[in-house]
Amino acid sequence: MGSSFGVMADKYRNDKDAVATLMQSIQNGAKGKWGRIPMPAHRNMSQDELKVVATHILASKP
């Protein structure tokens, strides 16, 4: 199980490139950022969909 959206948002709160960073991680998958279990890639999502998800995560409260 991964981290909550609020914890993720808090980590990236002061990162001006946070939306782009999260979009890339969501699209290509990620490993080792939040523990041992890798996040699968979501390559079929459009750039608009990726941006909506990343923005939603960053708007979450810890």
**Domain coordinates of the chain in residue numbers?**
5-58
CA 33 to chain centre: 10
3-class SS of residue 39: strand
Measure the CA–CA gap between 22 and 8, rounded to whole angstroms: 10
The predicted structure's pLDDT at residue 2: 59
| 5-58 is a CATH 1.10.760.10 domain | yes
pLDDT digits (tens, 9 = 90+) for 4-56: 899 889 999 999 999 999 999 999 999 988 788 888 999 999 999 999 999 99
With b meaning 16 or more CB within 10 Å and e meaning fewer, what string describes 47-62? eeebbebbeebbeeee
> 3-state DSSP: the chain helix, strand, coil percent, rounded to 5?
50, 5, 45
Query: What's the whole-model pTM score?
Result: 0.85
